Structure 1
Amino acid sequence: MGVRGLRSYIQEHRDKFLQDFKLKDTKLVIDGSNLLYFLNSHFEEENIYGGNYDHFNTKCRDFFNTLLKCKILPIVVFDGADDPDNMKLETILKRLDARFSRVKKWKTKEILPILSKPLLYQILDELKVPHIATVYEADKEIAVLASRYECPVVTNDSDFYVYDLKGGSISMACMIEKERMDVNGSFYIPVKLYRREAVLKELFKMENDELIFPVFATLTGNDFFDPSSITLNYPKRPREQMSFARRNIRVVVEYVCRAEFESGQKAYDYICSQLSQAQREQFKYSVDSYLDTKQFTLFDLEAFIANLTHGHSKEISILYERPSTEGNLSLQELSLDEPEKLETEPSSSTDDSASMPRQAHNHRQQDEKYMKILSLEAYHYKIKTETTYHPGLLMRL
């Protein structure tokens, strides 16, 4: 997960890249998938009989109650389905193999009990902590949301060292600290805050360059790009080469520093010129994934969470994607207070569809092409569990 070796590198140079920070009176975006494993692995004891759910429940509530005591509003964002472009398919398969290996070796502390996630959702509901599952992978959505709020992100994913986040990021390990009281009588959690500017200034001498860190991170290796098969020349010493077969972050640091690139754009262009077509596409995809932290991918997550926090519990919000006239994905939102209030489609037809709700009628006309997403039965069923998601569909009831 994330950039290979970057988290360890930051920790080794914590005096330069991390600063003491009093976490209080702020919104806090939390990587839900990271949080789930962290709460289980750090606080959980041996998983006897498939999981100590009482113990897990207590630790989860203690965690969030500490945040609320420090006047911190947590917003938990979980991963959705795997991205449909399959750029991370190889990485996903490797992780599955690793999980199977842990099961075979019976390393119970490294195995997530099967009901941990539903239990965490239930706790978040009871504590009224805003939470949501994105349609696909949550990394970019978390980065955009934190940028909108200008607040920190809590995660163990080293990709967040690369994103341009004004509020910075905090390691999960910092959240085990007990709350303290300052001289004004307010509570806070002492943490180590990471800000990207420190690395840009100290390591690359390019404090305001937004491209150099994504280039460096991609060259180090992440879920989208494997540098182990490439060898690069130096711009000013073309006879000298650097191999990245070992995928060692110190090798990349040495190369970037010795190459003496004038800017991130110069580094980007020079490296791309030495890659094959397939490698170049992967490299560009990876770099681009770090750059856009202004716009959400499919829908406005900030507005959706605002809807949740304002107590619209009786409202169904259905978010789904459909091909637009240009062929690109677009997003529409339906808000339904009561099913019987839905406007019907005027029609002179004697077909049953004449009395159907407008949206259901429209989708029935395209039944072979689009997924039917509107189910009035679901409204009466009143499922109040986790956010459910399907390809092209995000529904919260």
Structure 2
Amino acid sequence: MGIRGLLTFVESKPNQFMVDYAFHSSTIIVDANNVLYKLYDTCNGSNVAFGCDYDLVYSHFDEFCSLLDSCNVKPIMVFDGGLDVDNRKEMTREIRTKKRMTTEISCNPSRQERLNVLPLFGKHIFTAACKKHNYQVVQCDYEADDEIALLSRILNRPVF
């Protein structure tokens, strides 16, 4: 869900909003969908026009998990569900689906350009990397924002 423009605003004034902090030896609650897309977006060398290099993408996900392990950080990965309780997000979902379909249709191996489309098994390999590292993985029925906030409050843990 999120707040449109918040990340851009915070990143535009790093000295005002950002403080370096050595976070370690703790549990965090993770918006897994958000991290999945961000990690895939930063994975170099994978071209979805050819069906995706899953080994490369899995290695990128595994490297992220190893980085968390090296800091003794144990995430609880919380994925959004596919259901919408009151159809508030129906319009947003429809717009995103149309945009994703347009992008996927434009995938052309002859142009060799990298498009920002999560591969078909992207979520599956991310979950596999998480399970390899013994992370708790939770799949919500609906939007995960409320569950993430609730877990954070009950467990007194930060959200990533």
Judge same fold: TM > 0.5, yes or no: yes
Give the Cα–Cα distance (whole angstroms) in 2 for the partners of residues 36 and 45 of structure 1. Answer: 17
Match of 2:42 in 1: 42
Match of 1:2 in 2: 2
* SS across alignment from 1:75: strand
Q: Give 1:83's aligned amino acid.
A: D
- The answer to whether 1:124 aligns with 2:130 is yes
For 1:18-57, list aligned pairs within 5 A: 18-47=18-47, 49-57=50-58
Deviations 1:169-221 (A, max 9, x none): xxxxxxxxxxxxxxxxxxxxxxxxxxxxxxxxxxxxxxxxxxxxxxxxxxxxx
Structure showing greater Rg: 1
Give the Cα–Cα distance (whole angstroms) in 2 for the partners of residues 83 and 15 of structure 1. Answer: 38
Note the C-alpha offset of 1:64: 0.8
Contact 1:44 1:109 in 2 (8 A): no
How many matched pairs?
Answer: 154
Contact 2:65 2:129 in 1 (8 A): no
Match of 1:78 in 2: 79
Note the C-alpha offset of 1:92: 1.0
Give the Cα–Cα distance (whole angstroms) in 2 for the partners of residues 53 and 10 of structure 1. Answer: 33
Note the C-alpha offset of 1:65: 1.3
Give the Cα–Cα distance (whole angstroms) in 2 for the partners of residues 113 and 44 of structure 1. Answer: 14
* SS across alignment from 2:81: coil
Match of 2:115 in 1: 109
Deviations 1:23-72 (A, max 9, x none): 11111111111121122110142325311111111111111111111111
Match of 1:13 in 2: 13
Structure with the bigger percentage of strand: 1
Match of 1:265 in 2: none
Give the Cα–Cα distance (whole angstroms) in 2 for the partners of residues 38 and 7 of structure 1. Answer: 13
Match of 1:381 in 2: none
| Structure-1-length-normalised TM-score | 0.37
Unpaired segments of 5 or more residues in structure 2? 108-112
- The answer to whether 1:96 aligns with 2:97 is yes
Unpaired segments of 5 or more residues in structure 1? 155-397
Structure with the bigger percentage of helix: 2
Give the Cα–Cα distance (whole angstroms) in 1 for the partners of residues 17 and 3 of structure 2. Answer: 16
Return the structure number with greater relative CO, CA threshold 8 A, min gap 6.
Answer: 2
| Structure-2-length-normalised TM-score | 0.87
Q: Percent identity?
A: 29
Q: Give 2:144's aligned amino acid.
A: A
Note the C-alpha offset of 1:98: 1.5
For 1:171-190, list aligned pairs within 5 A: none
Contact 1:79 1:137 in 2 (8 A): yes
For 1:246-325, list aligned pairs within 5 A: none
Give the Cα–Cα distance (whole angstroms) in 2 for the partners of residues 126 and 9 of structure 1. Answer: 36
* SS across alignment from 1:140: helix
The answer to which of 95-104 and 54-63 deviates more is 95-104
